[in-house]
Amino acid sequence: MRKVIAIYPGSFDPPTNGHLDLIERGSKIFDRLIVAILRNLDKAPLFALSERALMLEAMTEDFSNVRVDIFDGLTVDYAAKVKAGAVLRGIRAISDYEYELQMALMNRRLQPNLETVFMMPAEQYSYLSSRLVREVAQLGGSIKGLVPDLVERRLREKLDPAVKLQHARDLKPRKRG
């Protein structure tokens, strides 16, 4: 039987529990799912590509049919390269619809055989976005429960280098006196 490979493209800056929710749903309906991080030269990201890839790899290590990759150029070209038949995207609210519809139809025009599949994340993530997570974290608000613990730690380290130093100290084996 033909196996369906899907890509889940995005910026993931940073990855959130909403992304993870969608990855879990996607991993159940596709044979293989590739989480594809866009190398976007126009944007100055908070997290480097390699940092985002490491976080996503850790978040998805329990899903045997999911892998993480980095791509540049057109999504349709990347999909062809990895032989994907579908693009997975999340729709949270009506406000996402217009942008997602435009992208899906443009991608269809560029590559008619590539289908976009929309899935809805769990209700509790319907207001969640990477942009809001960045903003709340940067302004000192709590992002607990919105991102995996490891992402929360990386965010705190990124925004406050003193926290990184403390984490490094906590991990260092103490000398016995």
Bridge partners of residue 90, in order along the sequence: 119
Distance CA 167, CA 28 (A): 36
Tell the smallest beta-carbon distance from residue 112 to ligand PNS (Å): 14
80 binds ligand PNS (CB under 6 A): no
Map the footprint of ligand PNS across residues 12-41, applying CB under 6 A: 38
Of 6-14, 24-32, 49-57, 155-163, which segment contacts ligand PNS by CB under 6 A? 6-14
Task: Name which position in 16, 17, 27, 107 contacts ligand PNS (CB under 6 A).
Answer: 107
Tell the smallest beta-carbon distance from residue 87 to ligand PNS (Å): 8
75 binds ligand PNS (CB under 6 A): yes
Task: Name which position in 4, 11, 120, 158 contacts ligand PNS (CB under 6 A).
Answer: 11
106 binds ligand PNS (CB under 6 A): yes
Interior/surface letters 72-105, b for 16+ CB within 10 angstroms, e for the rest? eeebbebbeeeebbbbbbbbbeeebeeebeeebe
* DSSP output for 59-98: HTTT-TTEEEEEE-S-HHHHHHHTT--EEEEE--SHHHHH
Helix (H) or strand (E) holding 119: strand 115-119
Binding site for ligand PNS (CB under 6 A): 9-11, 38, 74-75, 103, 106-107
